[in-house]
Structures are given as C-alpha cells and as structure tokens.
Amino acid sequence: MLFLRNNLLVAIVDRGHAERFFAIAKKEGAGGGTIFPAKGTATNSILAALGLGDKSKEVVLILLDDDTAYRIFNAVRSEDRIQGVLALLTNEEEKDMDCKWKMITVIVNTGYADDIMDAARKAGATGGTVTHARGTGTAEDAHFLGVTIVPEKEMIMILAESDKSQAIIDAISNLECLDEPGIGIIYTNDVKEFRNLNSKKR
Amino acid sequence: MDFVGKLKETLYSVLPIVGVVLVLNFTIAPLGESLAPFLLGAVFLVLGLSLFLAGTDIGMVPIGEKLGYVLAHKRSTVLMLVIGFIVGFCVTFAEPDVSVLASQVHSLNPSINQQFLVFMIALGLGVFVDIGLLRILKRLPLKWVLMVFYVIVFVLVAFAGQSMASIAFDASGATTGPLAVPFLLALGLGVSSATKDGQDSSFGLTGVASIGPILAVALMAIFAGRGGAGESASLASGETAHALSLWGVMLEKIKTTAIGFGPLAAIIIILQFALLHFPTVKFRKIIFGIVYSFVGIVVFLTGVDYGFVGVGRQLGQMISANYSPVVVVGLALVFGGIVVCAEPAVWVLKNQVETVTAGRIKGSLVMMFLCIGVAGAVALAMVRILFEINYLWFVFIGVGLALVLTLFSPPLFTGIAFDSGGVASGPMSTTFLLSFALGVSGSAELGFGLVGLIAISPLIAIQILGIIFRVKEKKGRGSTAGGDVPSGAVASGAVASGAVAAKEAKNAVSEK
C-alpha cells in the first residue's frame, strides 16, 4: 500500500463515550485522535419539529490504515456500552468500490443548521451532527473598536445512503435562506465502511 | 436539548433536599399536613425546572449568541448599548428567581411594592449589562471595574440600612438566575467570540451585570425612605398559599408570568425582524423554546408557592423555636453543603475550572472549596439571624476580601469567580433556603440576605483556587524562572484555552 494512513475514521458517539471508544481504538493500534463536542439532531421528525430530541454528542477523528480500521470495526462489534455511529471515510481511488453510504458536510454561517437539517430530513436524511467552528476570515474582516471580527460557523455532518445523497444536497442547496453568495460550502466523502454501534438499543 | 437529560439533572438537584426534609419530618420536625403539598410541590418543581431549562437551551441561548454576534458586526456602540439594556431589562422581568424573591419580600414587608422592586432590579441589570459590554470592548481590567463599583455599592448600602442592603444583595443573587445567566454568557461570548483575540475577556459580564441590582435597590431604599421595613409582618401571609388550591395558585402564576414574559416576547419578535433574521425553521424552534420556558416557569413557580416556601418557613420556625441555635446552625451547614452540590450550574463551574487549568486543579478540589464556602455562608446567615448581627459587616468583610483577592488571583479566575456568584445561588436557594431563613428569623428585618451571602462565597473560593493555581504553576516552572514568567504563562494558557472554556461554559450553563 502506497499510503499508510489514508482513511479517516469518524466516530459520532454520545457525550462521554468518546474516551471509551478511543481506548478501544488505541488497543487495536490507532495512533492519535481528535475529539470535539457536537450536537446530534433529532432523528424523529416530530421531535425535531417540537425542538426537542437534540442530544449532546462527541466526534472522534482518527487517521489510520485499512488493517487498523477493520480491527476497530471488529472490536466494537462486541462493545455494547458505546452509543453512536462509526464511518470510515476514504480518499482512495478505487473505481470498482461501491460505496453504500456518503458523508455530506456543510459549513455555513452559524444559525442555519436547523433549517438545513429540516430540508435534509425531508429529502431522506435520518439525522445529522452539528458542531460550532470559526471561519478564518478574509481581508474584508470587519473591525470594530479595534477588534477583528471573524464569522462564526456551523459544520453539519450528515451520513446518508448514496442514492439519497444527491437529493439531500439539492434540497440544502435550494434553501432560500442560503441564497446568498459566500454563505458556506458543501461537499461529500465516500464512506467505505459504516456501522451503527449498539443499534439494538436505538 | 433532550428533556429527559434535563429531568435527570433537576432530579439530582431537588432530591437531596426532599430527602433531608423527609428525615427531619420523621425525626425532629413533623410537618403534619403540609408534607403532601411539599412532595407535590417538589414534583412540580422538577418538571417545571426541566422544561424551563430545556426551553432556554433552544430559545434564549441562540438569541443571546446571535444578538452578540450581530451587534458586534453592526459596529455601532450605541446600538449595542441600547439593545443590551432593553434585553437585560426584559429578561429580568421574566426571571423566575426574581419573582420568587420579590413576592417573598412583599409578603413580609407589604410597604415594598413588588412591581416597583422588580422594575428597579431590572433597571439596574440593564444599565450594568451595558457597563459590562463596554468593559469588554474597551478592554478595561475587570478588577478595577469591580473595585470602583463595589466601593460605590458599599457607600450606598451603608446609607440604605441593613434590611434594604440584605434585600439588595439577595436581588443581585436572584437576578443572575437560570434565564439571565445563559443569556448574559451568550451575549458576552457573542461579542467577544466574534473577536479573534478577546476570548478571555468574555468572562465577567455576568459579574459586572450583577452589581446593577444591588445599586438599584439601594438607591430605591435611599430615595423612597427606608420603607418602614421590618414590621415583623405576619408569617401567616406566607401560609395563605396553602389555602389556595393547586389550580388557584397555577392560575395566578400564569397571570403574573405572562406579564413578565410579555415584554420579552415582544422584544424578541421585534429583534427577529429588525436585526436577527433567523431562518424559518430555526425561528420556529426558538419560539417553541420560549413557550417551553414559559410553561416551565409557571409549573416551577406553582410548585414553589404551593409546597416549598411554606414548608421552608415552617421548618425554620419549628426548629428555631424548639431547638438550640447549635442545631439551627448545624442544619444550615448541612443544607448549604447539599444545595451547592445539587445546583447543576455548580457542576458546570467545576468543569470550567478543570478545563481552564488543564486539569491542574482537580474538580473535587473545586467542589470542596465551594461546599465549604456555601455551607459557611448559610451557617453565617443563620448566626447573623440568631444573634442579630448587622448584615453590613458580612457584606463589607465578604466582598472586601473578594476584592482584595482580585489583586492576587489570575484575571481569568477573577472573571470566573464573579460570574459564578450567581451560580451558587440558584433556584434551590431562593426558594427553599431563603424561606427556611425567613422562618428562623420570623421577621423581614433579618431574614433576607442569605442569597446574597451564598452569592459572595464563590467569589472568595474560586479566587483562592486561582491563587493556588498560580503558586502551583510557579513551582512547576522552577524557582529560577522569576515571578513574571509563570503569571504570563497562566495568562497565555488562559487565552489559548479561553475559547474552549468559554464555549464549554456556555454549553454547560445552558445545559443547567
């Protein structure tokens, strides 16, 4: 294999489960990882409409090679104390690879996540994960009383089946409130492997 | 946020008190027929508080954040100050802790107009939100701002007399309640997070804002005369709540809460169309959040009035009448310790300190300090009531000590400490502990001031922690490094972790 670590493992787990997950990953040979807090949006559209059902989540990012990734996927199979999903993103150019899942990522100015998730859900998405971020800003950054103001961003990750992903992207792109130049970006990654952790309790 | 999670948190904060009351009921202080309303009240309290907190998370917090951000972008200081004032003012009207306090004040001292008291508290908060925002923008050191205004507070409070002083400090502790704090934190964060370099200055807005109510109430006392305080108003007026049915209490609460929420709702709708422009789905969610908050407050206040306040007073009266002061003070220590561990916001603070110090100061140490601090504050409040000591002494010494500590504590800790003054005095202390103290004292002259004392204790405890942290840091770097390097390291560490900590704080506080 030419690249040793060409996969990005994204684990989205309940708040407080990230360390537990990382301990397993480490035992299977993962090097280091990055953990950040996020918010899981409601999977149920009625709860979403009522504004309830959002959950605190943590996202774990680990760069690793194929072997380690599959060892981790095997190891978590017997683990029932972690709630969440596991997705292996890849940048490998394998044309014959038939990815059943895609990861859609949207980065927009803050405040639009609920509308984006609403549109995505109508187009067939089952849920999404939102985290806060900050833009790097540009030369036209506003200055106010001597302080530089940079835009607050929201990053939304949606795991969706490949055949629905285009519809979801279209639905998001056509949102009226996003009809403004420079408001954000959207991109997808192929998901090589996907697993629901502890799905029996879902 | 998920309602179930909130329910669990609130349950943890209310259950210990219910437990102690039950133990007392079966041992030294049988409650008789008020036990059933108390338990029902506790259920209402838990349900109401959970719903309210879930509502703030999806309603007030995003508004505060976006508002801070938009205001920073508009680049108009005047607009920022006008909006900061109006929103701070309206939030106070809707704040449940304030209405609980105001109605307790009124029930013991009818000469004080309940609406006017709330109005003054709101006015004070609004003005000092502006002062706090200006401080962030002008980057004035927090400690000097605090010093100047607390000196003014001391002078005014000395003129206002101790009974009004105690109400003034209670008002300050109550204002920084569950509705205002997430909003203030979010606003401060919004203004300073939109700025690349001002992350650590985001702490302190709540601390500065909470000075306002003290000043306003003290001014009110001076100009309105001493208000003939302390007529030892009949405690019976507190008991009349029992005469009303649960439904009757609730109807009344719906009415008063609607009056409080009206201005806030109007302002939010105006802001939405004038400034905020939330997209449709988001705005719908925010409206739901505000409706949840409203229903939550109604249920919460109903529980408080129906069961909690009455039982608190009854316990205070029974125990102070039948047992020695030692028992009262001992019980106060227990209550103080339990309440502080039970306040969800305190756990937030604990995490915050851990994050900021990168684990150098253990969370358990923070809890220990706060427990001792608040237990001490509650016990001191009882000592004061029993021996009729002038409240001003406690305030002068307590706040004076806190101010002196600002000279030695790292600035970040000073910010966290003054912000968290209101953290320790949450809904449990304004409802249960305050009424317990009122029961013990039996008069308006001495009963108030407890919430204020509880709010002062974290100022001291957290700053001492800050000093410990600084000393540890110094040791860690070796003695050759000299005095300036470690403190610089603390400062830069603080800046680096400021963003994370602030975010964390906001999330956590909103989760409270």
Residue B395 CA, chain-centre distance (Å), reads 17
- B376 and B336 in contact (C-beta within 8 Å)? yes
How high is the pLDDT of residue B496?
A: 35
Identify the bridge partners of residue A131 per DSSP, sorted by sequence position: A155
CB spacing of A144 vs B72 below 8 angstroms: yes
Residue burial A47-59, b: 16+ Cβ < 10 Å; e: rest: ebbbbbbbbbbbb
Average pLDDT over residues B507-512: 40
Within-domain flag for A88: yes
Q: Which one is predicted more confidently, B198 or B256?
A: B256
CB spacing of A152 vs B193 below 8 angstroms: yes
Interface test with A, best of B66, B281, B293 (most A CBs within 10 A): B281
CA atoms within 13 A on the CB side of B504: 20
Name the nearest CA neighbour of B429 among B343, B512, B371, B349: B343
Query: How many whole angstroms separate alpha carbon B84 and alpha carbon B36?
Result: 43
Residue B86 CA, chain-centre distance (Å), reads 20
Single-letter code of the amino acid located at B124: G
Query: How many whole angstroms separate alpha carbon B44 and alpha carbon B296?
Result: 9
pLDDT tens digits for range B292-305: 989 988 998 888 88
Q: Which one is predicted more confidently, B347 or A121?
A: A121
Distance from CA of A60 to the nearest CA of B (A): 17
pLDDT tens digits for range B352-401: 677 666 677 777 888 888 888 889 888 988 888 888 888 888 888 999 99
Within-domain flag for A100: yes
Residue B291 has pLDDT above 80, yes or no: yes
CB spacing of A144 vs B1 below 8 angstroms: no
Q: What is the ipTM metric for this complex?
A: 0.72
Q: Which one is predicted more confidently, B490 or B405?
A: B405
Cα–Cα separations (whole angstroms), residue B1 to A137, B5, B61, B280:
30, 8, 11, 19
Assign 3-class secondary structure to B455-474: HHHHHHHHHHHHHHHHHHHH
Cα–Cα separations (whole angstroms), residue B98 to B102, B180, B258, B277:
6, 10, 15, 30
Domain count, chain A: 1
pLDDT band at B481 (very low <50, low <70, confident <90, very high): very low
Interface test with B, best of A149, A177, A180 (most B CBs within 10 A): A149
Residue A153: count other Cβ atoms within 10 Å of its Cβ.
Answer: 18
CB spacing of A115 vs B282 below 8 angstroms: yes
Q: Does A133 touch chain B (CB under 8 A)?
A: no
- Chain B residues with beta carbon closer than 8 angstroms to that of A142: 73, 75
Within-domain flag for A2: no
Q: Which one is predicted more confidently, B445 or A27?
A: A27
The average confidence (pLDDT) of chain B is 78
- B413 and B468 in contact (C-beta within 8 Å)? no
How high is the pLDDT of residue B101?
A: 83
Most confident of A140-144, B144-148, B278-282, B507-511: B144-148
Residue B420 has pLDDT above 90, yes or no: no
Residue bearing tokens 């879930």: B54
Residue B478 has pLDDT above 80, yes or no: no
How high is the pLDDT of residue A186?
A: 92
Residue A128 CA, chain-centre distance (Å), reads 7
Query: How many whole angstroms separate alpha carbon B244 and alpha carbon A81?
Result: 49
Residue B389 CA, chain-centre distance (Å), reads 24
Q: Hey, CA dihedral for B267, B203, B197, A131, is it positive or negative?
A: negative
How high is the pLDDT of residue B486?
A: 37
CB within 8 Å of B259: residues ≥ 6 apart: B93
Residue bearing tokens 């706060």: B370
- B139 and B201 in contact (C-beta within 8 Å)? yes
Per-residue tokens: B107: 């029930």
Residue bearing tokens 């009921």: B25
Query: How many whole angstroms separate alpha carbon B503 and alpha carbon B62?
Result: 13
CA dihedral B467, B471, B473, B477 (to 10 degrees): 160
pLDDT tens digits for range B320-362: 888 888 888 888 888 888 877 766 667 767 776 776 666 777 7
pLDDT tens digits for range B141-158: 888 899 999 999 989 988
Residue B510 has pLDDT above 70, yes or no: no
Q: The CATH number of the domain where A153 resides is what?
A: 3.30.70.120
Query: How many whole angstroms separate alpha carbon A67 and alpha carbon A150?
Result: 41
pLDDT tens digits for range B177-234: 777 777 777 777 667 665 544 445 567 788 898 899 999 988 888 887 544 444 444 4
Single-letter code of the amino acid located at B26: F
Average pLDDT over residues B157-168: 85
Query: How many whole angstroms separate alpha carbon B385 and alpha carbon B48?
Result: 32
Query: How many whole angstroms separate alpha carbon B420 and alpha carbon A88?
Result: 42
Look up the domain containing A55 and give its range.
Answer: 7-201
Single-letter code of the amino acid located at A44: N
- Chain B residues with beta carbon closer than 8 angstroms to that of A53: 2
Name the nearest CA neighbour of B297 among B180, B211, B434, B423: B180
Residue B24 has pLDDT above 50, yes or no: yes
β-pairing, A152-161 vs A129-134, is antiparallel
Query: How many whole angstroms separate alpha carbon B18 and alpha carbon B432?
Result: 10
How high is the pLDDT of residue A149?
A: 58
Query: How many whole angstroms separate alpha carbon B346 and alpha carbon B428?
Result: 12
Average pLDDT over residues B451-472: 87
Within-domain flag for A103: yes
pLDDT tens digits for range A16-36: 888 889 989 988 888 888 888
